[in-house]
Amino acid sequence: MIFFQYDSLDEMNEKVSEIVIAELQKKPNSLLCPATGNSPTGLYKKLVEKKDQINTQQLRVLKLDEWYALPPDNPGTCEQYLQQHLLQPLGIASNQYTAFASDAHSPHNECERIQHYLVENGPIDLCILGIGKNGHLAFNEPNSELNAGVHVSQLTPETLQHGMAKIANAKLEFGLTLGMADILQSKTIILVVNGPHKRDILNRLLTSNISTHLPASFLWLHPNVYCYYTPEG
């Protein structure tokens, strides 16, 4: 994992947007897997500002994770976030986008459907990630063991304090998520970290110690991971 520190959030997002655009220009039919949450929002804003540099006609997008047992129009869903910040502004057609259904009747069947999609269409070309305050990646939560494939995740109390969960204003217990192997099979991974509330977990990640109790630490095992952060992050 290679770390890059920037003096300001705007400078970081500008640089990362240039890298993402370059990756998508190299392979217009890339499978892009974008995270949701506060960390990548500024990056997505930059991408939208530069959308004339991105040919989205062949781009494929896969949702990384989703809160389970919410109607899809709930403002706290990852679906609504991606539609607002990335998909609609970039003009991504529905047939280019594959997503967990937050209100799926069977969460396990929904995970099997997404896993099948990855088997048939993967691996992910570019995965954009954030890191949770507890070190989770997507909804791969700290635990004594981690799931390799797409699965239903029992969410931790810390994750349930996330801003999106609060916006959802509903009782949440589970998430639907890509597994660690799905993420680590990505060809390129970009990790974006910002905000003073992420300082402690970033410092833990910088030690390069790998533990299931810090899922993000498994990124050290991947040959092509780039972490971008600001001093306050």
Instruction: Please list the active-site residues.
Output: 65, 134, 136, 141
For residues 150 and 114, is the Cβ–Cβ distance under 8 A? yes
Six-digit token pair at 198?
A: 């992420």
Handedness of CA 61, 67, 68, 74 (dihedral sign): negative
Written as one letter, the residue type at 194 is N
CA-to-CA distance for 100 and 108, rounded, in angstroms? 11
φ and ψ of 152, to 5 deg: -90, 125
Tokens 């660690």 correspond to: 180
Tokens 């494939």 correspond to: 149
